[in-house]
Structure 1
Amino acid sequence: MKILLTIIILFTSLNSFCQTTFDESSISKRTIKAVKNIEKVNQLMSSAVGAAGMRPKQWENFEELKKTATKDELIELTNHPNGVVRSYSFWALSHKKKY
């Protein structure tokens, strides 16, 4: 009985914490375009990659996301199904001013 109760509690808690909802209708078309470009590459990259320190296209996509997305859009993008988009959204939020 204790094992069954433990399994039920574990399953219920995991199920409730793993649910995220992403509402694409609250994102502007310009921001959606930047998100689609990030999804296409689907790699998290910094401003310089490789031995030569070349600036990747993905960094330009991230810069476009920072420039076009509002704070509320970035918060909504933290619920996006793609992990790279979520990561860049958190990164862009860290660059936004708090007020």
Structure 2
Amino acid sequence: MKLSKILLLAIISTFIHLISFGQNNKDDTIKIVVGEMARNDVYERSYSIGYFGSYSKQLELFEKLKSIATEEQLLKLAEESKSAIVRLYAFQALKEKKTKIPESIARKFTNDNTEVTVLWGCFGDKKTVKALAFKTIIKQQNELLPSQASIEY
């Protein structure tokens, strides 16, 4: 009887370790993806970039982030990341997942005049985070947050 309890505890302990290892591995992957996005420091809007149509590494990273990050992790990145690029991609992932954006985060994006480099196809430009978040992402989906309806860009 005592041996079966020890065996059961060992199995449970191993199972818990495997579950936490999987989560830690996922968290590490998110950190790597976010770090690389921030280092690239460009907001790419199409899968083919530049005159030669190079594949967009940023959108590949974005798709990876969107697939592995939870809504809570994306909300935290959208609100707290030091990288404007990471904040934008986290915000975009939330919108694509149809997550309700908290008013505090919406307000931050409304007031964020940080300029970022934007690439789409073979074109590039500088845009503010505010303009990209509300003019591009939300209007693209024909959505406006109620308190954002009268914002001018």
Residue 58 in structure 1 maps to residue 58 in structure 2: yes
How far apart, CA to CA, are the structure 1 residues paired with 2:73 and 2:33? 12
1:82 counterpart residue number = 83
1:30 counterpart residue number = 29
Residue 94 in structure 1 maps to residue 95 in structure 2: yes
Deviation at 1:68, TM superposition (A): 1.0
How far apart, CA to CA, are the structure 2 residues paired with 1:56 and 1:69? 20
Deviation at 1:52, TM superposition (A): 4.4
Number of residues of Structure 1 aligned to a counterpart in Structure 2: 73
Q: Residues 52 and 93 from structure 1, CA distance in 2 versus in 1: closer, same or farther, beyond 3 angstroms?
A: same
How far apart, CA to CA, are the structure 2 residues paired with 1:45 and 1:98? 22
How far apart, CA to CA, are the structure 2 residues paired with 1:82 and 1:57? 17
Amino acid paired to 2:67: K
Amino acid paired to 1:74: L
**RCO comparison, higher one (Cα < 8 Å, 6+):** 1
Q: What TM-score comes out, normalization by structure 2 length?
A: 0.43
Amino acid paired to 1:50: G
Q: What TM-score comes out, normalization by structure 1 length?
A: 0.64
How far apart, CA to CA, are the structure 1 residues paired with 2:50 and 2:35? 24
Q: Is the 8 A contact 2:71 2:99 kept in 1?
A: no
Q: Is the 8 A contact 2:37 2:85 kept in 1?
A: yes
CA RMSD of aligned residues (A): 2.1
Structure with the bigger percentage of strand: 2
Deviation at 1:57, TM superposition (A): 1.1
Structure 1, unaligned stretches of length 5 or more?
A: 1-26
Runs of 4+ in 1 over 3 A off after TM superposition: 51-54
Percent identity for Structure 1 against Structure 2? 30
**Bigger radius of gyration among the two:** 2
